[in-house]
Amino acid sequence: MRIKQSEFITSAVRKPQYPTDERVEIAFVGRSNVGKSSIINALTNRKKLAKVSQTPGKTKLINFFLINNDFYLVDLPGYGYAKVSKAEKESWGKTIEDYLAGREELKRVVLLVDSRHKPTADDILMHEWILHYGYDVIVVATKSDKLSNNELRKSEKVIRETLKLQKEDKLYFFSSLNKKGKDELINNLFEDLATDLD
């Protein structure tokens, strides 16, 4: 599958603000500094589609991007940033949870973790949330260019054990810098859910 077109459609906090055209949605979620905006920009080949913030924890809204005029890539607020207040953390958590609760258009959630570190308690909780709401989940470990092949193997073991992934559960490594395996990742994330596969 090729991503030929990508455009920002809307930002939302509450359900009434979500798109209502019933297109399939694939959501990306991860810690504030995991490189979520960078991977969205890398996959869509757009440098500034998702805003890359210098301040982690800046995205508080749910952003909807229309891909190939076919389905939505949904950018959820980053979580786990220490320098925000408890009230702010709770409001972001509620924003994410409200979206995950019974969103029929949502068919898959891509959970981003940092390949250089063991998944955090927040990552584990997010993974459990996604499974609790019954969505298909794919884990993508970002910043993989920073690791050697040996370190990548160790990282895979740690991520699988920490998140209690089964053998058949999908885990991919990706670097937004070198974009190695980009086409394969796009196919694995989107192809079976997209209707326009050209």
Closest C-alpha to 31, from 139, 108, 136, 103: 139
Average pLDDT (17-39) is 92
How confident is the model over 58-90, as pLDDT tens digits?
557 899 999 999 999 999 988 876 565 666 666
Among the listed residues 97, 126, 152, the one whose alpha carbon sits nearest the alpha carbon of residue 32: 126
Mean of per-residue pLDDT scores for the chain: 87
Domains of the chain: 6-191 (3.40.50.300)
What is the pTM assigned to this prediction?
A: 0.90
Q: Which residue has the tokens 């809307």?
A: 10
Is pLDDT above 90 for 13? Answer: no
Give the position of tokens 């996604």. 130
Strands 6-12 and 62-67: antiparallel
